[in-house]
Amino acid sequence: MAHMQIATQDASFARVPMTDNTLLIVDDDKPFSTRLARAMEVRGFEVQVAESVAEGLAAIEAGAPAFAVIDMRLGDGNGLDVIARLKERRPEARGVILTGYGNIATAVTAVKMGAFDYLAKPADADEIHAALKAEGGDRALPPENPMSADRVRWEHIQRVYELCGRNVSETARRLAMHRRTLQRILAKRAPR
């Protein structure tokens, strides 16, 4: 499980009033969002679920929540658009970005767009709750089982492969690797 706490001096991470526990979950993985919504309701949140960027933006326009958990990759766009709009409408809101790809550049972009924290999927409700309720100066605990360097490399290759429309030749060109080497890597199972 990869987890990364982003330290920042930005004043926009002011404390959210303890009485407002409105939470927006934007994720197109319905079983995951349903489980997470139930788990967060048990923890005292008033939860609203959206399954797309468009639904997430509409929910924010209807009433910007105090907290948000937003998947980075959605069927109709990028979850960063939702976090950016939330920060425009409610600067003190706490947003956590979820992604299947643990990548530093994405984390930096997410924070610049207003995310408070960044979690790699599959994140559990306890991790998400801790990230939402963390104080600005809190440092995340080191992960119990961080991804190995081989796994991070494999995730990156898989991401580029998907972004290239599963085109091996184009992926190999962009990764500056031999096509046959890439084919061997893609044929193997994911490392632990």
Encode pLDDT of 34-44 as tens digits: 999 999 999 99
Q: What domains does the chain contain, in order, with CATH numbers?
A: 3-133 (3.40.50.2300), 149-187 (1.10.10)
Q: pTM value?
A: 0.62
Q: What is the mean pLDDT of residues 1-23?
A: 52
Which pLDDT value is given to residue 118?
74
Q: For the chain, give percent helix, strand, coil, nearest 5.
A: 45, 15, 40
Neighbours of 65 (CB within 10 A): 25
